[in-house]
Chain A
Amino acid sequence: MNIVIAAVGGQGAVLTSKILGTLAQNIGKDVKVSEVHGMSQRGGSVIAYVRFGDNVYSPVVEKGTADILLAFEMLEGARYIEYLKENGTLIVNTQRINPMPVITGEMMYPDDLDDKFKNLSINYIPVDALSIAKSAGTIKAVNVALIGVLAKNSSIEKDEWIKAIKDTVPEKFLELNLNAFEMGYRLK
C-alpha cells in the first residue's frame, strides 16, 4: 500500500503520517514513513510518504504508484497528482489556501481544479474537511477528518484506525480528533 500525503506546511502532515505508520505497524506490516522537515514547515508545499506491506524497502513512493493521494488542500492535490496510479484514489480537502504568489496578485489560483479532477480516470473524493474539523471543535483536525474518510474507503477495520489515533495523538487533543475522525468516517 502506497499513500502520499500532500499538504501546506503547518497542516499536520507529519502527525498524519505517524498515525498511518502506527496503523500499519499495529496490523503487523513492514512499514516506512518519510517526510521532509525544515524549510517546508513555514507554510510551504510539503509531501510525506507512507508505504506498508510484507517487505518495504524504499521510504519514498514512486510517481505513478500511489494507491491513495491524501491532499489537505486543492492546489497541493493538483501539484502531486503524478504520484497517483491510474484508478487510484484522490481524497482531497476542498479548502483553498492561497500561496504567496496568489496573495501578491502575481498569479491566479486555478479555479477549475474540481473539473479537472473529475475528468481523470481516478476515484475522486472531495471532502469539506475544514467544516468537519470546525464542527468537531478545532480547525486543526482537518487531517484526522480526512483520515476518517480514508478509513471508510479502506479494508482495514475501523477499530484499528481508532487505536492508531489513540496511540499517536496527545491525550489533550484526543477527544476532538476522535470526533473529527468519526465525522469523516460517517460521511456519505
Chain B
Amino acid sequence: MKKLMLGNEAVARGAYEAGVLVATAYPGTPSTEVTEYIANYSDIKSQWSVNEKVALEVGIGSAIAGARTVVSMKHVGLNVAADPLMTVSYTGINAGLLIVVADDPSMHSSQNEQDTRYYGIFAKIPVLEPSNSQECKDYVKLGLEISEKYDTPVILRLGTRVSHSQSLVELKERNEVGLKSYDYNPSKYISAPINMRKRRVLVDERLLNLEKEAESISINEIEYNSKKIGIITSGVAYNYAKDVVLDASFLKLGMTYPLPTNKIAEFINSCDTVYVFEELEPITEQKIRSMGYNVIGKEVFPISGELSCEILRKVLLNEIKEVLPPFEGLPQRPPVLCPGCHHRGPFYILKKLKLHVAGDIGCYTLGGFAPLNAIDTTICMGASVGMAHGFEQARGIDFAKKSVAVIGDSTFWHSGVSGLIDIVYNKGHSTVIILDNSVTAMTGHQENPSTGKTLSGEDTPVIDFEALGKSIGIRRTRVVDAYDLMELEKVIKEETNAEEPSLIITKRPCILKKGIKFDFKTYVIDENNCNGCKLCLKIGCPAISFDGKIARINTALCVGCGLCKDVCKFSAIDIEVKQ
C-alpha cells in the first residue's frame, strides 16, 4: 500500500518498521513532526526531553542498553547535543542509534544556517541524506543497520524541503528486532582516557571501513545518460537537478559522509563537465578538489539559502523563465503574536518602562518586532538569562536595574535554568521573567515540564518555577496574571529595582493550546468614545485595526483578553457578551 507522507512522517514510519523501541527529541522546526508521528506507534517508547543534549544522552543510554533508538532535533539543536555526540562516536553503540537532524537552509524558522554534515566529519560518524519521503523511510532502516554493523551512531540529515514535503511511500510491516543483550563492557563504555585512547584508533579504522562501504552501498548511485554534463548531488538538490536536466548523468549520493572516492573518480572521468550541486556548504566539492579533480560548484551555485530549479536552469542552460511582472511595494505580512497571546502584556509593559530586554527563542521572539519592539537581543535557546547577567557584568548594577531577561517556560527548562543558577551563584541582581504559557508553542504546541502531560498524553507532575527558584536561593519570586497590565507594571518596577536576583512568572495559557476555553466574550469599540488616538494599536493585536478615523475590533479574531481595554485612555473599548 502506498501512502502520501511528510518526510518527517516517513522517518517515523521507518523507525516503526525497523523495530525501533525508543525515541527522544526536543521539538524544533523543521524536525518536530518526526517524534510526533513516532508517538502514534505504541510499540515505541517516545518522549520529549528538556533539550537535545539530554535527548541524545537518553538515546545513547537506551542504545547501549540494547534498544534500537532514534533521537531527533533541528540543526541548532545538534550544537547543544555536540558534547555527548563527540564521545558516543568513540564508545560506539550496541543496538542501532540514529540521530535525525533537520537543517533549515534559507532560515524559514531558525536563527542561522548550518550544514550538519560538518558534525559527521567532526565526530567521524556517517551521514545519510534522503531526497524524498520513500528514501526517508528506507534510510532510517539502512542507517540503523549501518549503525549496528559498524558500531557507530549514524546521522540522518534532512532539510526543510525533505522534512516538510509529502510524497508517496510504500508501507511495510514492522520487523520486530527486539532487545539486544546488554553486555557489561566498561573499557568500551567508560570514556576515561585509558579506554578512549584505544577506542580512538578503532574510530579511525571504522572510518576506513565506512569509506569502503560508501563505494558499494546502493544509495550512492550512478545514472548515466548523456555524458556531456555530469551532476554530483544529494538530498533535495537531486530532485531540482532531475527536473531541469533529464538527460544529464547523475551521481546521487545517499551517503554524503564518508564519500565514495573511487566512484566519484569513475564518474568524473566518464563525463565531460562535472557540476557539484549540494545544498549549503561545499563539502563534497572540497573533497573532490582535494582528490585533484576540477569540478564546478560554489563559484556558480550559492553557498547560502535553498537551492532551486531556477538556479540550476540559469547556470546550466543559461535560461531564465518568463514570469509575470511582480507587484511592487506590497506591504509585508510578517508573523505576529496571536490575538490574546499571553506574551503581549509583558512586552507592552517592558516597552513602556524602556527596559533593556535580553530575549530568547520562541513565539515571544516576535515581541521584538513592530509595533511592540520590546526586545534588544536574541541569540539561542536559553541564552537570555546568561546574557542579562552579562549586561550587569559589563555595565554594573544600575544597568541591571534597567534590564530583564525574558524566556518561555519550555526554553527555561531547555537551558535557561542553568543560567539562573549562575546568576545566584555569582551574586547577580538580574530580573528574569518566565513567560509561562504552559506549552512549547512555537513548534506547534508540544508538552514540556510545565504542562503536566508527557508526549503520549499521560499525566505527569508539573514542575514548579517558584519552588525551583526558592531551592536555588532566589528569595524574590512573583507570579503575575499576564493580562493584568497594572499589576505587571508594578511588579516589574519593584523587581528590577530590588538589589538581588528576582524571578517573575507571568501566567496564562497559550490561546492556541488544546483544551483552553475562553469566556464567550469579545470586545468592541464604542464609536462615540473612540477619538482615534491609536494608542490601542501599540499592543499589536491583529484583531484591532484603524479605519482612518477610529479603531475597529474584528470580533471574529478577538478572544476577549481585555488588554486593549486597559490601554485605552478614553474608555472606548467595551465588553460584548456573545451568545
Query: A residues engaging B (CB < 8 A)?
Result: 8-9, 17-18, 21-22, 25, 30-45, 56-60, 62-65, 75-76, 78-79, 81-84, 86, 98-110, 113, 116, 120, 122, 139
Known: A63-B321, A104-B537. A33 touches B242 (CB 8 A): no
Taking CB as reference atom, which chain B residue is nearest A79? B330
Q: Number of B residues whose C-beta is below 8 Å from A?
A: 57
A59 to B130, CA, bound (A): 13
Q: How far is the CB of A24 from chain B (nearest CB, A)?
A: 8
Does A38 lie within 8 Å of B545, measured CB to CB? no
Number of residue pairs A-B, CB distance < 8 angstroms? 178
Q: 8 Å CB contacts to A: which residues of B422-445?
A: 442-444
Q: Are A64 and B324 in contact (CB under 8 A)?
A: yes
Judge whether B326 is part of the interface by a CB distance below 8 angstroms: yes
Q: Which residues of B lie under 8 Å from residue A59 when comparing CB positions? A: 132, 161, 165, 167, 236, 239
Main SS at interface, chain B: loop
Asked whether any CB of chain A lies closer than 8 Å to the CB of B337, the reply is: yes
Query: Does A100 lie within 8 Å of B166, measured CB to CB?
Result: no
- A99, closest chain B residue (CB): B333
Interface pairs (14), CB distance under 8 Å? A31-B166, A33-B165, A36-B30, A37-B109, A38-B442, A41-B335, A43-B338, A44-B333, A45-B333, A59-B132, A59-B161, A62-B309, A105-B537, A110-B331
Q: Is residue B308 within 8 Å, beta carbon to beta carbon, of the partner chain? A: yes
Smallest CB separation, B75 vs chain A (Å): 13
Contacts of B243 in A (CB 8 A): 57-58, 62
The CB with the most chain A CB atoms within 10 A, among B165, B168, B321, is that of: B165
Picked from A41, A44, A101, the residue with its CB within 8 Å of the CB of B331 is A101
Nearest neighbor of A59 in chain B, beta-carbon distance: B165
A78 in contact with B324 (CB, 8 Å): no
Chain B contacts with A in 287-318, Cβ cutoff 8 A: 308-310, 313
- Given A22-B4, A38-B29, A81:B326 Cβ within 8 A: yes
List chain B residues, Cβ under 8 A from A139: 556
The distance in angstroms between the C-alpha atoms of A25 and B323, with both chains bound, is 29
Structural contact, B4 and A101, CB atoms closer than 8 A: no
Give the complex CA separation of A81 and B325 in angstroms.
8
Q: How far, in whole Å, are A57 and B537 apart by their CA atoms in the complex? A: 46
Q: A37-B109, A58-B309 are in contact. Are A42 and B337 (CB under 8 A)?
A: yes
B335 adjacent to A39 (CB under 8 Å) = yes
**B399 interfacial contact with A, CB 8 Å:** no
A63 to B442, CA, bound (A): 29
Q: Are A58 and B30 in contact (CB under 8 A)?
A: no
Q: Looking at A18, A78, A104, which has the most chain B CB atoms within 10 Å of its CB?
A: A104
- The 10 A-B pairs of least Cβ separation, nearest first, read A38-B109, A44-B335, A38-B29, A59-B165, A34-B165, A99-B333, A42-B335, A64-B321, A64-B323, A45-B333
B160 within 8 A of A: yes
| Further contacts, 13 of them, CB under 8 A, given A41-B335, A41-B444, A82-B324 | A37-B164, A38-B108, A43-B336, A44-B336, A58-B243, A63-B323, A64-B323, A64-B324, A75-B333, A81-B327, A86-B324, A103-B544, A109-B331
